[in-house]
Structure 1
């Protein structure tokens, strides 16, 4: 089992762990309140985790949080990945819109955050809005996205934006990019 896969599993186990320490390079983000991990898989060099509200599933969702870890991918850049995703989205959605939110360096890693909107996803018959963050690590490439099969409310936009802001990559091997200990929450 890879360290990155263990890091994703850590998200599900956070309430059970006391003083766990992350090792090497890791994607770190929490599970939003009311969400559950509903799907995890590894295909080739990609590890994907899909999280949905408690009453939903990955087959029937209104909101979904997805993380992807592309193990060993060192040539992709956040801005290049954003351009690819926008090109793909535009080809599959008439009237697609995009907005770049931020790009630069965070915790020593290049990142980009953007929003994609589709007024009518032909496969669902609903609008779809996706907030994305891509981070180029030293070991792997990371993407986290929060999608809505609707026009999100201002509260949903705030929650998605705040969640992406909290997504980070750390590396226990690098003193300037440390991984913090995960403490068991008070009960």
Structure 2
């Protein structure tokens, strides 16, 4: 019995040592590439919430200064990013008295179809502005969304449109979808 405890403790110590000394996991297969830290100040270093296993949300600020970033990965692949826009806009429109949706960018990025659009939603005592980006990969559909609950500044819009333009999908298995060197997987 004592030998069993010693072996268990030794195995536990060995596992802890090997886990602590493992290098960061390099990118494999299909990946969503986000440059961190996020633009601006005071973003939490860890997500503020999770709506499911494949959706992560970061939040900061209060009232009219409230902002959020949402990243969602759907394991069901959509072949056409405009279909995601249509469903998203249809849902959002139900909650707004005044609603606008404008396409900002519609192209192939790194060999994948990608669509970026902006949405405003207004109702009594409420205003939001959001930038949405969806990329349809071979394995999944990738969505990134930045929302201001209040009116963003022109500088904020410029910075976050540039950030969204830097978001892309890559795949280590395919030369037509190359991944950048030096990136590692972030596990939260």
TM-score (norm 2): 0.75
Q: Which residue of 2 aligns with 1:103?
A: 106
Aligned to 2:67: 63
Counterpart of 2:81? 78
Q: Shift of residue 183 of structure 1?
A: 6.2
Q: Which has the larger radius of gyration?
A: 2
Aligned pair partner of 1:26 in 20, 28, 31:
31
The match for 1:140 is: 140
Q: Distance in 2 between matches of 1:183 and 1:38?
A: 19
In 2, Cα distance between equivalents of 1:77 and 1:22: 25
Q: Secondary structure at the match of 1:162?
A: helix
| Residues 49 and 61 (structure 1), Cα distance of their counterparts in 2 relative to 1, 3 Å cut | farther
> What is residue 11 of structure 1 aligned with on the other side?
none
User: What is the aligned partner in structure 2 of residue 38 from structure 1?
Assistant: 47
Deviation of 1:182 after TM superposition, in Å, equals 2.5
Which of 138-147 and 84-93 deviates more? 84-93
Give the number of the structure whose residues are more often strand, by fraction: 1
Relative to 1, partners in 2 of residues 1:60 and 1:152: Cα closer, same or farther, differing over 3 Å? Answer: closer
Q: CA deviation at 1:77?
A: 2.2
RMSD, aligned α-carbons: 2.6
* Structure 1 residues 69 and 60: CA distance shift in structure 2, 3 A: farther
**Hey, what does 2:19 align to over in structure 1?**
none
Aligned length: 159
Task: Say if 1:40 and 1:47, in contact at 8 Å, map to a contact too.
Answer: no
Distance in 2, Cα, partners of 1:29 & 1:136: 16
- Which residue of structure 1 aligns with residue 165 of structure 2? 165
**Aligned equivalents of 1:29 and 1:165: distance in 2?**
10
Q: 1:137 to 1:183 in 2, by over 3 A?
A: closer
How much does 1:151 deviate? 1.1
CA contact (8 A) 1:102 1:114 kept: yes
Residue number in structure 2 paired with 1:4: none
Structure 1 residue 101: Cα displacement: 0.8
User: Take 1:76 and 1:174, find their aligned partners in 2: how far apart are those partners?
Assistant: 18
